[in-house]
Amino acid sequence: MTTPRRSTTIVLAAGWSSRTGASNKLFFPIGTSTVLETVVSKALSSGAETIVVTGHESERVATLLSPYDVRVVQNNRFETGMASSIVCGVRHAIESDSYLIWPGDMPLIRPETVQVVRDRATDGKVVVPSFEGRRGHPVLFANAFRNDLLSLTGDVGARAILHDRAQVVDEIPVSDAGILFDVDTPEAYDELLRRLSASPND
């Protein structure tokens, strides 16, 4: 009898939002929701365990997400960069077969894209979606890379693993421009609202 795979989604929600000024981009409104809530809702729609890693404004994030069935964990070293948030999330995903890394400022990723990535999960592989030749998020790491993920440092996330282990990367072309779009500036937020107005189902 095959044991079902257990995948954990790790939503990264710890950063300073320095490029959006005094406002935290994760709380930017999308209709009656917010950027972060939209990401979390999509993550939960897959049925996988979801861990949200906080840092900056951690109490505010925890309060916002209190209605959602997620584990909120605090990264006390978030100032050192994105890698520390990945490390924090992976440490709390103790019994997982894979880790799906999803930045909290990327609300346009479609649930069906997430499912395509999960369906390609294989022992010893890193699954990366791409759109028109450009790699994006979310990225899924098999448990074989747990130690690599726990060893990450700095502010480039898990890019080093994709570079150093290129032979085990499974790149999947998808028809989802949202895998490349993050709300990292006020202009990007304006573009987000334009895209949602044109395609409200995203």
Confidence of residue 3 (pLDDT cuts 50, 70, 90): very low
| Residue 202 is assigned to a structural domain of this protein | no
Provide mean pLDDT across the span 111-125: 94
Asked whether residue 53 is domain-assigned, the answer is yes
Model confidence, pTM: 0.93
Tell me, yes or no, whether 20 lies in a domain.
yes
Tell me, yes or no, whether 24 lies in a domain.
yes
What's the mean pLDDT in 166-181? 96
Residue 185 inside a domain? The answer is: yes
Q: Hey, what's the torsion of the CAs at 60, 84, 9, 107, to 10 degrees?
A: 60
For the chain, the first-to-last Cα distance in angstroms comes to: 38
Share of the chain above pLDDT 90, in %: 79
98: helix, coil or strand? strand
Is the residue at 168 inside a domain?
yes
Give the distance, in angstroms, between the CA of residue 130 and the centroid of all CA atoms in the same chain. 15
Q: Are 84 and 78 in contact (CB under 8 A)?
A: yes
pLDDT above 80 (res 17): no
Q: Report pLDDT digits (tens) over 55-69.
A: 999 999 999 999 999
Its domain, for residue 163, covers 7-197
* Whether pLDDT at 84 is above 90: yes
pLDDT of amino acid 89: 98
Query: Do the domain assignments include residue 2?
Result: no
CATH number at residue 165: 3.90.550.10
> 199: pLDDT confidence band, cut at 50, 70 and 90?
confident
Tally the domains of the chain: 1
Give CA 86 to chain center in angstroms. 10
Residue 2 has pLDDT above 60, yes or no: no
Report if residue 1 sits inside a domain: no
